[in-house]
Amino acid sequence: MRFADKLRARWDEADTLLCVGLDPDPAKFPEAFAASEPDDTADALFAFCRDIVDATAAYACAFKPQIAYFSAHNGGEAALQRLIAHINGAHPDVPVILDAKRGDIGSTASQYAIEAFDRYGADAVTLNPYMGRDSAEPFLQRNDRGCIFLCHTSNPGARDFQELQVDGVPLYQRIARTIAADWNTDGNCALVVGATYPGELKVIRGIVGDMPLLIPGVGAQGGDVEAVVRNGAAADGAGLMINSSRGILYASPGAGYAEAAADAARSLRDAINRFR
């Protein structure tokens, strides 16, 4: 199923706008996952994330593994493959977003598209638009998959370049307009907009119509759920994938980590839905 349709179906059927981010940091794992050998780290990455996935799937409109947390470790790629295969098998209605922020010339981008969509089997991938249209093209052409472009990110440095004025509007607005008007021919584009900048979120929603928005930055980064929903929801009350990673993954350091993750995910889903 096309990413856009799978996401829409999940929003409707599970009544959730929550995206569960999978950023597994072994230093924060519950004791049960303490790796005694370096080679065990990859197994722990998989097993911890699998437990979180199984505990939170009922509340998730998407899962978003962050590839850097796997790529920092030997064997991390195999763990990520196992994890996505597990999600696709056990929770086939929940789309998987590979958070990789790729961006390169066309011939290289084609390799990255193979990595994300074929090797890992992700439904969508995050992309950096700085290199322009031809760097996005190999992803856009895979039009059953989703292309989620950085627009206004959640970090402090988002102000450094993304807010520079170009022709009287900030760069991030220009990028949003270009993607909505020129790159989204097949309806397979989405944007990353940080929860920490609710004013900018409102402006972007006005530019892109009902395009899906991936919203990092609630929880550890300080974004406010009410402001995100009020400023970011599409006209039908959906249109958002509001991500939480650390607040769910590390909700409890003890043996009850999975139950605590489920509770945190359910709470956040409910908090989001209160403002829709």
User: Which positions are catalytic?
Assistant: 101
Decide: is 178 part of the binding site for its own copies (CB under 8 A).
yes
Q: Which long-range contacts (CB under 8 A, 24 or more apart) does 133-137 make?
A: 133/182, 133/183, 134/105, 134/106, 135/103, 135/104, 135/105, 135/106, 135/109, 136/103, 136/109, 136/183, 137/106, 137/109
Strands 146-152 and 124-127: parallel
Rounded Cα gap, residues 194 and 33, in angstroms: 31
Angle between the N-to-C axes of helices 257-274 and 225-232, in degrees from 0 to 180, rounded to the nearest 10: 50
What is each CA distance from 147 to 99, 128, 199, 238, in whole angstroms? 11, 10, 24, 18
* Residue 135 CB partners (closer than 8 Å, separation 6+): 103, 104, 105, 106, 109, 129
Of the candidates 174, 177, 202, 230, which one interacts with its own copies according to CB under 8 A? 174
With CB under 8 A as the contact rule, the residue among 34, 161, 185, 253 that binds its own copies is: 161
For position 185 contacting its own copies by CB under 8 A, the verdict is: no
Q: Residue 8 contacts by C-beta under 8 Å, 6 or more apart in sequence?
A: 238
By CB under 8 A, the residues from 119 to 158 that bind its own copies are 119, 128-136, 150, 153-158
Q: Is 37 in the site for its own copies (CB under 8 A)?
A: no
Q: Minimum CB separation from its own copies for residue 45, in Å? A: 12
Nearer to its own copies by Cβ, of 59 and 69: the residue is 69
- Max CA pair span of the chain: 57
Q: Which is nearer to its own copies, 207 or 238 (CB)?
A: 207
Q: One symbol per residue from 57 to 96: x for binding its own copies (CB under 8 A), - otherwise; what is it? A: ---------x-xx-xxxx--x---x---------------
Site track 239-268 with its own copies (rule: CB under 8 A), x = hit: ------------------------------
Q: Applying CB under 8 A, does 9 fall inside the site for its own copies?
A: no
Residue 167 is a binding residue for its own copies (CB under 8 A): yes
Nearest to its own copies of 140, 260 (CB atom): 140
What six digits make up the tokens of 9?
């179906």
Q: Which residues are near its own copies by CB under 8 A?
A: 23, 66, 68-69, 71-74, 77, 81, 101-109, 111-112, 114-115, 118-119, 128-136, 150, 153-162, 164-167, 171, 174-175, 178, 216, 221
